[in-house]
Amino acid sequence: MFFILKILVSAVIIGGVTEVAKRFPTYGGIIAALPLVSLLSIFWLFIQGQTAPQLSRFVWGVVTGLPATIVMLVCLYIALRLTGNLAFALLIGVISWLVFLFVQQKIVALVSGS
C-alpha cells in the first residue's frame, strides 16, 4: 500500500510540473530543475527507516551524478535546437550522460589512486 502511495504522490507532482510546463515552458523548466526527485527520494527513504548515514550516502550519490546530468541536459538542449528531433536529442543526451559518467569514474579512480 505504501508503494502505491509513493507512486501516486510522485505522479501528482510530475503531472503538476508538466501542466505548468505546457502553459509556461520556462517556469516549468525551472520547477523541473528543482531537486524534486532527490527530495522525494530522501523523504521516502527516511519514512522507510533509513539511517542518517544511509541517507548521506544517497545524497552523495546524487551529488556525484549532477555533473553528468548537467552535461546531458546541455547536449539535449543543443541537439533539440539543432535538429528539432526529440528521439535523436534524447539519444545524444543519454549517450553524453553515459560517456561523462565513464570519464568521471576514470578521473576519480586516477586521482584517488584506485
User: For 90-113, what is each residue's pLDDT tens digit?
Assistant: 999 999 999 999 999 899 888 887
Residues of the domain holding 94: 52-114
pLDDT at 1 over 90: no
Closest CA to 78 of 97, 92, 95: 92
Query: Do the domain assignments include residue 44?
Result: no
Domains: count for the chain: 1
Query: Do the domain assignments include residue 104?
Result: yes
User: For 31-82, what is each residue's pLDDT tens digit?
Assistant: 877 788 888 889 989 999 999 999 999 999 888 888 999 999 999 999 999 9
CA distance 82 to 76: 10
Kindly report the pTM of this predicted structure: 0.71
Give Cα separations from 56 to 52, 69, 112 (angstroms): 6, 20, 21
Closest CA to 93 of 65, 74, 114: 74
CA distance 11 to 110: 40
